[in-house]
Structure 1
Amino acid sequence: MSDKVKQDSLVTLHFRVTLPEGGQAFISTFESTPATLQLGRGELAPALEQRLTGLEVGNREVFDMEAGTVFGQHKPDLVQRFERGDLPADIELDLHSVIEFSDPEGNKFPGLVRELDDATALIDFNHPLAGRAVRFEVEVIGVV
């Protein structure tokens, strides 16, 4: 067991993701079970892996990450307008709700309802934090 995070480490940590200006956490493990992640396998954004590399067990850090570096840039082509009649009848559409779509291979994709009128629904398949700066708070618990 190592005390320092390396590029290929298995890391157990608590983390919280918020906007830099504060507000409610989008995700946090501090109130529950810590996460265990393998660095170098794409489980975390490369920019976050870089910031974790070199930290030691017990370190607690806060990183402000530039827009797009963690959840990617917002891609306009991932925002699509659907005729309401083309959507499954059992889907309840509400403004700002997240609904799940499946492709022909069975892969699931969440989409956020951005606009809704009598005839159409505008669905955004980008990550909700795509194109946004985020604050990443981390506490390293263990490193292998």
Structure 2
Amino acid sequence: MKIQPQHVVSLTYDLYVKKEDGEEGLVESATQEQPLTFLFGAGQMIPKFEENLSTLSTGDTYDFHISAQDGYGEYDQEAVANLPKEMFEGQGADLPQVGEVLPLQDNNGNRFQGQVVSITEDSVIVDLNHPMAGQELHFKGEIINVRPATPEELSHGHAHGPDGHHDH
């Protein structure tokens, strides 16, 4: 079956990005046993990712690149925040470690993540860029299944697994 909006797509993928030495390294995978399943056209995926898949059908393989600009955006030097240490100390929690990813929320209630890049005398410095910002993404994989979405999935705006049911 051909991929189209309001259909649920299950696929495998290997995601590669260039490492500092210029070689590509595998950073993420979805397997036959645990495929990525999503409602096509619902805005859950990178638009360019869906665009590259839009001509494919069940059983097709794919191999494409997405520029940083069309992926997770360019790396933004300004997207680094200094969080006062008091934010952490008041909750009786230990200070986060460098490299730790923190769940954060802005004043509007939007949730996002930041990675701790350093700790100074009075603040925790957090990089708010997506971990793959500034990276060209290279996807390779296979379309395992394409099926029409159920009315429930359409009303919820997301897929309920490869067969249309939530796993319990």
**8 Å contact from structure 2 (residues 32, 144) kept in 1:** no
Deviating more after overlay: 6-15 vs 128-137: 6-15
The answer for the alignment partner of 1:140 in structure 2 is 143
Aligned mates of 1:133, 1:7 — CA distance in 2 = 26
TM superposition shift of 1:65: 1.2
The answer for the alignment partner of 1:10 in structure 2 is 8
Matched residues, number: 140
TM superposition shift of 1:120: 2.1
For residues 28-65 of structure 1, give each alpha carbon's deviation from its aligned partner in whole angstroms, at most 9, with x where no partner exists: 11274112111111111110111001112111222121
Q: CA RMSD in A?
A: 2.1
Structure 1: which 5+ residue stretches go unaligned?
A: none
Q: 1:64 to 1:91 in 2, by over 3 A?
A: farther
Deviating above 6 A after TM superposition, structure 1's stretches of 4 or more consecutive aligned residues are none
Deviating more after overlay: 96-105 vs 44-53: 96-105
* SS of residue matched to 1:88: helix
The answer for the alignment partner of 1:19 in structure 2 is 17
Structure 2: which 5+ residue stretches go unaligned?
A: 148-168
Q: 1:67 to 1:105 in 2, by over 3 A?
A: closer
TM norm structure 1: 0.82
**8 Å contact from structure 2 (residues 64, 139) kept in 1:** yes
The answer for the alignment partner of 1:73 in structure 2 is 74
Aligned mates of 2:17, 2:78 — CA distance in 1 = 24
Q: 1:76 to 1:60 in 2, by over 3 A?
A: same
The answer for the alignment partner of 1:88 in structure 2 is 88
**8 Å contact from structure 2 (residues 88, 95) kept in 1:** no
Q: 124, 127, 135: which is aligned to 2:130?
A: 127
TM norm structure 2: 0.72
